Amino acid sequence: MREIEVSAVLPVYNDLSALKTAIPRSLEVLEAIAPGRFELIVAEDGSTDGSTEFVRDYEAKDSRVRLLHSDERLGRGRALNRAFAAALGSIVCYYDVDLATDMPHLTELIGAIRDGYDIATGSRLLPESIITRSGGREVASRGYNMLARTILGSSLHDHQCGFKAFRRDRILSLLPSVTADHWFWDTEVLVRAQKNGYRIREFPVRWQQGEGTTVRRNDVIEMGSAIVQLWWRLHVEKG
């Protein structure tokens, strides 16, 4: 059995079209970073568009690919929890299947963990970041992250960028305290990690908004509500 250093996870829900690009591109980049010492886990979360069958076929012909299928919809947070628990590598990472963050940044992401950081995360909101997205989404993102910094006391600039890596043992010890099971998972992990003294590296990335991503009024309200709820839980835990 080959030794695995890096386990890369692609969270997937009805993303068949994106997978056709993401899998071969991931294998190419990961092979350059950890030759023969990585696995690509597709955390497929109850898809109905043929994603499961596509990955299963890929897995059959390439041992570097692993399908982790769920019959029921778990939500991104729970799907990542499950994937990290099943991972074989000492370094685990995940990134969005639309490859919104430029893949060359994966070298820096993994390198930060190799250099001793517990968590590494890409940021779309540092001065050196280069991003392409709609004005409405930009405003919502900056507002959300400002609230996270102000209310939750975070020192990070971008909590929701889908491009993160972790020391596997450190993230697994943190996850039992994380209650978010979907999109808020990223923020809660980063906030709790800071409060537990984890070493975190945030670095600028080149990022381009994927197709079909919009921000609705209800999304903004839900974002603010989730931040306040986490603040309250942290306050109660401390008390």
Q: Up-side HSE of residue 115: CA atoms within 13 Å toward CB?
A: 13
pLDDT band at 141 (very low <50, low <70, confident <90, very high): confident
Sign of CA dihedral 101, 102, 103, 109: negative
pLDDT band at 218 (very low <50, low <70, confident <90, very high): low
**What Å distances lie between residue 232 and 99, 160, 176, 196, 212, CA to CA?**
34, 20, 18, 17, 33
Assess whether pLDDT exceeds 60 at residue 212: no
Measured CA to CA, the distance from residue 54 to residue 10 in angstroms comes to 14
Higher pLDDT, 141 or 168: 168
Residue 3: count other Cβ atoms within 10 Å of its Cβ.
9
Spell out the alpha helix ranges (H) of 115-196. 135-152, 168-174, 185-195
What's the mean pLDDT in 180-205? Answer: 96
pTM (two decimals) = 0.93
Q: Look at residues 178, 34, 197, 200 and name the one whose alpha carbon lies nearest to residue 122.
A: 200
Assess whether pLDDT exceeds 50 at residue 214: no
pLDDT digits (tens, 9 = 90+) for 4-61: 999 999 999 999 999 999 999 999 999 999 999 999 999 999 899 999 999 999 999 9
What's the mean pLDDT in 129-145? Answer: 83
DSSP state of 222: H
Give the pLDDT score at 237: 87
pLDDT > 90: what percent of the chain? 81
The C-alpha torsion from 72 through 78 and 80 to 82, rounded to 10°, is: -80
Active site residues: 186
Spacing of C-alpha 155 from chain mean position? 19
Phi, psi of 91 (to 5 degrees): -115, 130
Phi, psi of 53 (to 5 degrees): -65, -40
Measured CA to CA, the distance from residue 238 to residue 218 in angstroms comes to 30
What's the mean pLDDT in 91-101? Answer: 97
Residue carrying the six token digits 């919809």? 73
Average confidence score pLDDT of the chain: 92
